[in-house]
Amino acid sequence: MNIDLVTVLTHGRKGLAHFFLGSISESLVNTAKLPVLTLKIQSVE
């Protein structure tokens, strides 16, 4: 595959939720060799 950019969606957790659940997006950004575009999902309430 000839991939130029990886795009992932994130919940944008903060505080204790981020500490306990971690972030797949953050891990991907820190290890990927390609540019990563993260987009925060807007919650519908």
Instruction: Quote the pLDDT of residue 35.
Output: 94
Range of the domain at 18: 6-40
Residue 26 lies in a domain: yes
Residue 45 lies in a domain: no
pLDDT band at residue 44 under the 50/70/90 scheme: low
Residue 29 lies in a domain: yes
Residue 11 lies in a domain: yes
Residue 15 lies in a domain: yes
Instruction: Quote the pLDDT of residue 12.
Output: 76
Residue 1 lies in a domain: no
pTM of the model: 0.67
- For residue 45, pLDDT over 70 is answered with no
Exposed e or buried b for every residue in 16-43, given b needs 16+ CB within 10 A? eeeeeeebebeeebeeeeeebeeeeeee
Mean pLDDT, the chain, integer: 83
Percent of the chain with pLDDT over 70: 84
Instruction: Quote the pLDDT of residue 27.
Output: 87
